[in-house]
Amino acid sequence: MSISVKNISSAKVVLRIPDIRFNRSLMPGRVITLTEDEYKELIQEPGCRNLINGHYIKVTGVEEDKAVEEVANVFEASDIAAMLDKLDITAFAKFIPNATAAEKETVIKLAVEKGITNAGFVALIKKYCDVDIINAINVKHQAEEK
């Protein structure tokens, strides 16, 4: 059985375990494989557990009894992008109140990139992420004009 770690956020994630000289940088969407020993060392690190619980990384291929407890309903950047692309306000409204910090960062980044100005999305992002997406899009356009 192969254990893999995937960066499911929109940010670069760095995994470091100095004791075994393990140092990997994961760009968004990147997947790496781990040995069982590397996994055992990795889950001993509080920062790694925070990355898993914060929905920055997703670990697969681990037996249930050896897995780090993971918060339910993990949304990858592709899942969030799909909601925004389809303007699926119902799914988004169910997702955003319980989104982790990593998921909220991804929402903001993708909403600005995609130019989301739908009033429902804008209001939900303002309420739960405390970001005015319309203003963020304007700032992005002004920066690009310079």
- Distance from CA of residue 27 to its chain's centroid? 11
Nearest to 117 by CA among 101, 139, 132: 132
For residue 132, what pLDDT is reported? 93
Question: Digits of tens for pLDDT over the chain (146 positions)?
Answer: 688 999 988 889 999 888 888 889 999 999 999 888 888 888 888 888 888 888 889 888 877 655 655 556 788 888 999 999 999 999 999 999 998 888 999 999 999 999 999 999 999 999 999 999 999 998 888 888 87
For residue 108, what pLDDT is reported? 94
**β-pairing verdict for 3-7 and 57-60:** antiparallel
For residue 115, what pLDDT is reported? 93
For residue 20, what pLDDT is reported? 82
Nearest to 34 by CA among 50, 54, 9, 58: 58
pTM of the predicted model over 0.75: no
d(CA 89, CA 12) in angstroms, rounded, equals 28
Instruction: Tell me which amino acid residue 68 is.
Output: V
